[in-house]
C-alpha cells in the first residue's frame, strides 16, 4: 500500500509547503550502526533517501597488505562482527586456494558446523532487531536470549563472544572442547521449541503482516541488477545459494534446502531468514552426526602424547609465518548477509599483495533508495531492517 503524494509541493495558492530534510543517523536507534540516511520528506512520505556510509571505515583492505597471512584473521572478525566466523572462513579459504593447502576432513566439518551456528546467531539478531524496528519489543529479548546461548558456546569454544579468530589457514585453531557437543545438543533441543514461539509471535501477526506485506518490493530483475545477494536475493525469487550452486567445503555431502521467497517484499526477506534458521539447525545436526562418524573411523590424538606434541609443533612452525607462492584467487562463500568474496593477490612472500573484500550488505544497502521512494518513514525503517546490514562489513 502506498500513499501517492498527489499534492504539488509549493504550488498551492495561499499555503506554502516545502520539503523537509531529516538526518536519520549516524546516531539513531534503527540504523544498525553508524549509517547516516539523508531523507528528503514530504510530510511523512519519503521523496529521496541517500545513504552516507564510511563512518566505520578502518581501511581493512590496506591493513591486509601489511600483515602476515595469519595475523589478518582477527581483522576479518571486525568487518562483519555479527557473523565473524563466516568472515574468517572466507578469508582462510582464499589464502588456502592461493597457497594450495588442503584441510583435514574433521576441520572442514567443524568449519561448517561453526559457520552454520554463527549464521543462526546472525539471523537471530536479525529477527530481534527487525521485530524491534517494526515496534515489537518482546521478540528482541527472546531472540537475544537464544543468541546468548550460542555466544556462550562460542566462548567456551574459542574464548571470545564476538570476534572469534577461530578459523585458521589449514583448519581451525583447535578442536571442539570436551563437553561442547553435549551442550550444543542440549541447546538445540531447547531451541527447536523456542523457534516455534519466535515464529508464532511475529510471522502471522495481523499488524506485522500489514507492516511488511507488499512493502519495499524488490523485483527479481532489480535484485540481480543491483547485485543483491543472500537472503535478499532469494526473497526476490532467485534460487541462488553458493552453498549449493558453487559448493565448497563439505556442503556437497549435506542435505539442505534453499528457501526462496515469492514477492521480494519485507515479509519475504524475513520469512527466508526464518526458514534459513531451520536449515541451519538441520545442517548443524548433520555435521554433528558426521563428526561422530569421523570419530569412530579415526581415533583422536591423546592430548599431551608424543604424537600430539609433534603435531602441535608442526602447526606452530608451519603457521607462524606462512609463505605463499605468487598467484591470485577469488573465493566466495555464502555468508549470513549474502555473497562474501575475497580477492587475494600474492606476489610471493609472507604478506598479501592485495586483498579486496566483496561484502553482501554493501550491495544490499545500495538498493535502499530505489525501494523506499514514495514510502513512509516507518517503511524506511522496516525496509532497512529487512536488508539486515552490518556497517562494519559495509565500511570495512
Partner 1 sequence: MTLDALLALNRWDGGLAYFLATGTLNIDPINVHLTLPWLHLPIVLAWVISMFVMSGIVTSLVSVNVMALVWLERKISGLIQNRMGPMMVGIIKPKGWATKHHSFWKWMSVWFGGWLQTLADGVKLLLKEDIIPTNADKWVFISAPILTFTACIMGYAVIPFTPNFPVLKDLNIGFLFIFAAGSYTAVSILMAGWSSNNKYSLLGGMRSAAQIISYELPLVLSLIGVVMMAGSLKMEDLVNWQRTVGAHHGHWFILYQPIGFLIFVISAVAETNRPPFDLPEAESELVSGFNTEYSGFRFSVFFLSEFASMFGACALAATLFLGGWSGPGSENGFIAFLWFLAKTYCMVLIFMWIRWTFPRLRVDQLMAFGWKILTPAALINVLWTGVEIALVKAHGYQHQYLYIWIPILLYCLLGIFVAKPKPRGDFSILQETS
Would you count residue 22 as binding partner 1 (CB under 8 A)?
yes
Binding mask 136-155 vs partner 1 (x if CB under 8 A, - otherwise)? Answer: xxx--xx--x----------
The binder of partner 1 chosen from 9, 20, 219, 314 (CB under 8 A): 20
- Cα 71 to chain centroid distance, Å, stands at 22
| Cα–Cα distance measured from residue 9 to residue 16, given in angstroms and rounded to the nearest whole number | 8
| Cα–Cα distance measured from residue 291 to residue 263, given in angstroms and rounded to the nearest whole number | 39
Nearest to 157 by CA among 251, 85, 82, 91: 85
Q: How far is the CB of 158 from partner 1 (least distance, A)?
A: 23
> Cβ closer to partner 1: 40 or 319?
40
Binding mask 220-249 vs partner 1 (x if CB under 8 A, - otherwise)? Answer: ------------------------------
The binder of partner 1 chosen from 275, 359, 364, 386 (CB under 8 A): 275
Cα-based angle 94, 89, 109 (whole degrees, multiple of 5): 115
Q: Collect all residues with Cβ–Cβ distance below 8 Å to 298 and sequence separation of at least 6.
A: 106
Would you count residue 156 as binding partner 1 (CB under 8 A)?
no
Classify residue 29 as exposed, middle or buried by CB count within 10 Å of its CB (0-12, 13-18, 19+).
exposed
> Cβ closer to partner 1: 237 or 349?
237
Would you count residue 164 as binding partner 1 (CB under 8 A)?
no
The binder of partner 1 chosen from 119, 123, 211, 351 (CB under 8 A): 211
Would you count residue 131 as binding partner 1 (CB under 8 A)?
yes
The binder of partner 1 chosen from 58, 62, 196, 303 (CB under 8 A): 196
Q: Other C-beta atoms within 10 Å of 16: how many?
A: 9
Would you count residue 282 as binding partner 1 (CB under 8 A)?
yes
CB 390 within 8 A of CB 18: no
DSSP classification of residue 8: P
> Given the rule CB under 8 A, which of 105-113, 183-191, 309-317, 346-354 is the region that contacts partner 1?
183-191
> Cβ closer to partner 1: 9 or 209?
209
Q: 197: cis peptide before it, omega within 30°?
A: no
Would you count residue 279 as binding partner 1 (CB under 8 A)?
yes
Nearest to 277 by CA among 80, 128, 154: 128
> Given the rule CB under 8 A, which of 60-68, 153-161, 281-289, 306-314 is the region that contacts partner 1?
281-289
Cell of residue 282, nine digits:
538441520
Q: Collect all residues with Cβ–Cβ distance below 8 Å to 36 and sequence separation of at least 6.
A: 23, 24, 25, 26, 51, 52, 53, 55
> Cβ closer to partner 1: 68 or 256?
256
Would you count residue 379 as binding partner 1 (CB under 8 A)?
yes
Would you count residue 288 as binding partner 1 (CB under 8 A)?
yes
Nearest to 125 by CA among 148, 153, 104: 148
Q: Which residue has the cell 554433528?
A: 288
Q: Pick out residues in 329-358 that bind partner 1 (CB under 8 A).
A: none
Q: How far is the CB of 329 from partner 1 (least distance, A)?
A: 35
Binding residues vs partner 1 (CB under 8 A): 1, 3, 20, 22, 28-30, 44, 131-138, 141-142, 145, 185, 188-189, 192, 195-196, 201-205, 207-211, 257, 259, 271, 274-275, 278-279, 281-282, 285, 288-289, 376-379, 381
Amino acid at each position: 500500500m502506498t500513499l501517492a503524494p498527489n499534492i504539488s509541493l509549493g504550488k498551492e495558492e495561499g499555503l506554502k509547503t516545502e520539503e523537509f530534510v531529516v538526518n536519520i543517523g549516524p546516531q539513531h536507534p534503527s540504523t544498525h550502526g553508524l549509517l547516516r540516511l539523508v531523507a528528503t520528506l514530504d510530510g511523512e512520505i519519503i521523496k529521496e533517501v541517500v545513504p552516507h556510509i564510511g563512518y566505520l571505515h578502518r581501511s581493512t583492505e590496506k591493513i591486509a597488505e601489511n600483515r602476515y597471512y595469519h595475523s589478518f584473521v582477527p581483522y576479518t572478525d571486525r568487518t562483519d562482527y555479527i557473523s565473524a566466523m563466516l568472515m574468517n572462513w572466507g578469508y582462510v579459504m582464499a589464502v588456502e586456494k592461493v597457497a594450495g593447502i588442503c584441510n583435514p576432513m574433521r576441520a572442514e566439518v567443524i568449519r561448517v558446523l561453526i559457520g552454520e551456528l554463527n549464521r543462526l546467531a546472525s539471523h537471530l539478531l536479525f529477527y530481534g532487531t527487525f521485530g524491534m524496528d517494526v515496534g515489537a519489543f518482546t521478540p528482541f529479548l527472546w531472540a537475544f536470549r537464544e543468541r546468548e546461548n550460542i555466544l556462550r558456546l562460542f566462548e567456551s569454544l574459542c574464548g571470545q563472544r564476538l570476534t572469534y579468530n577461530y578459523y585458521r589457514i589449514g583448519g581451525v585453531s583447535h578442536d571442539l572442547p570436551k563437553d561442547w557437543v553435549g551442550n550444543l545438543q542440549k541447546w538445540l533441543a531447547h531451541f527447536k521449541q523456542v523457534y516455534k514461539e519466535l515464529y508464532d509471535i511475529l510471522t502471522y501477526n495481523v499488524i506485522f503482516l500489514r507492516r511488511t506485506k507488499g512493502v519495499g518490493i524488490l523485483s527479481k530483475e532489480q535484485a540481480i541488477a543491483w547485485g543483491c545477494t543472500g537472503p535478499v536475493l532469494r526473497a526476490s525469487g532467485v534460487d541462488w545459494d553458493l552453498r549449493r550452486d558453487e559448493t565448497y567445503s563439505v556442503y556437497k555431502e549435506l542435505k539442505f534446502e534453499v528457501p526462496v521467497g515469492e514477492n521480494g517484499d519485507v515479509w519475504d526477506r524475513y520469512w527466508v531468514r526464518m526458514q534459513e534458521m531451520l536449515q541451519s539447525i538441520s545442517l548443524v545436526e548433520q555435521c554433528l552426526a558426521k563428526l561422530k562418524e569421523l570419530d569412530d573411523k579415526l581415533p583422536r590424538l591423546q592430548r599431551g602424547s608424543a604424537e600430539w606434541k609433534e603435531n602441535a609443533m608442526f602447526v606452530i612452525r608451519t603457521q607462524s609465518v606462512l609463505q605463499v607462492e605468487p598467484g591470485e584467487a577469488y573465493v566466495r562463500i555464502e555468508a549470513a548477509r549474502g555473497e562474501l568474496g575475497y580477492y587475494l593477490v600474492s606476489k610471493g612472500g609472507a604478506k598479501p599483495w592485495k586483498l579486496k573484500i566483496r561484502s553482501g550488505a554493501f550491495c544490499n544497502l545500495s538498493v535502499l533508495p530505489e525501494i523506499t521512494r514514495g514510502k513512509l518513514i516507518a517503511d524506511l525503517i522496516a525496509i532497512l531492517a529487512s536488508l539486515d546490514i552490518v556497517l562494519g562489513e559495509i565500511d570495512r
